[in-house]
């Protein structure tokens, strides 16, 4: 979490607080509020949500990498904006809602490339992605209990699903940071690499995903995401539905033909 709510703000200009770059079929969305350690202000949340929606609507984008700066993936909520939330009724929308609704609505696979701190909402942002790659300097924490509050971006739920009750409770109730190595062993991240290699490793992973059938990737991810939310019988029913949906696609015919002819498949997302 960060208290420097003046650093990197866009109030005086229309400058975006995210940078977008395409590397082939992989779109990189970088949080760009480094002086505030990429703390999630209202403006940054709006910019990031818009960038995610744009990426999800672009059929040429087959994987999304979300990253931060050298020192911080994201330090969490902008503390300067908490007093506004204290005036809200319990069921009123909060600033995080727009961001996590955008993440959930985008079916394109999302990869978090984490260097430095991923605290509070930053940790929740990494959890909301499908895969996380961490640098050796990465630290993950949900320190909200130290401020007398609790995670408001899904942390209490996604941590338990990702880590199991015991490890999640340790993070949630102490608020203490976890190292990248611990996060990998606990299942919070898929891989730990040198800091200088984090973004390239995430992009390389995105390229491997992008080389597969785009419809198959999206429907596979769709079924897998429901594993945390539905009963096993419901998840299996969704998996079967998606399986038969894919069988009738041109991509499936192309994939089978390419395998039989020992050549790379030319998937078109149809």
Residues known to be catalytic = 77, 121, 124, 144
DSSP track, the chain: -B---STT--SSS---SEEEEEETTEEEEEE--GGGTT-B-HHHHHHHHHHHHHHHH-TT--EEEEE--SSEEE--BBGGGHHHHHTS-TTS--HHHHHHHHHHH--S-EEEEE-SEEETHHHHHHHHSSEEEEETT-EEE-GGGGGT---SSSHHHHHHHHH-HHHHHHHHHH---EEHHHHHHHTS-SEEE-GGGHHHHHHHHHHHHHTS-HHHHHHHHHHHHGGGTS-HHHHHHHHHHHHHHHHTSHHHHHHHHHHHTTS-------
């Amino acid at each position: 979490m960060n208290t420097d709510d003046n650093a990197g703000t866009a109030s005086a200009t229309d400058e975006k607080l995210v940078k977008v770059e395409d590397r082939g079929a992989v779109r990189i969305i970088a949080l760009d509020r480094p002086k505030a350690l990429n703390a999630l202000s209202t403006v940054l949340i709006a910019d990031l949500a818009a960038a995610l929606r744009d990426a999800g609507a672009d059929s040429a984008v087959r994987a999304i990498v979300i990253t931060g700066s050298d020192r911080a993936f994201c330090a969490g909520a902008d503390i300067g904006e908490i007093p506004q939330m204290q005036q809200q009724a319990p069921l009123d929308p909060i600033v995080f809602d727009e961001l996590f609704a955008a993440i959930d609505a985008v079916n394109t696979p999302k990869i978090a490339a984490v260097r430095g701190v991923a605290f509070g909402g930053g940790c929740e942002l990494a959890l909301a992605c499908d895969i996380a790659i961490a640098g050796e300097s990465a630290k993950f924490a949900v320190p909200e209990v130290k401020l007398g509050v609790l995670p408001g971006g899904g942390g209490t739920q996604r941590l338990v699903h990702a880590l199991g009750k015991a490890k999640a409770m340790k993070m949630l109730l102490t608020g203490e940071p976890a190292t990248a190595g611990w996060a990998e062993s606990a299942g919070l991240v898929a891989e730990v690499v040198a800091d200088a290699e984090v973004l390239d490793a995430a992009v390389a992973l995105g390229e491997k995903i992008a080389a597969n059938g785009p419809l198959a990737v999206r429907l596979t991810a769709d079924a897998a995401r429901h594993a945390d939310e539905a009963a096993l019988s419901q998840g299996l029913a969704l998996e079967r539905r998606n399986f038969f949906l894919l069988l009738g696609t041109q991509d499936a015919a192309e994939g089978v033909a390419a395998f039989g002819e020992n050549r790379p498949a030319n998937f078109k997302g149809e």
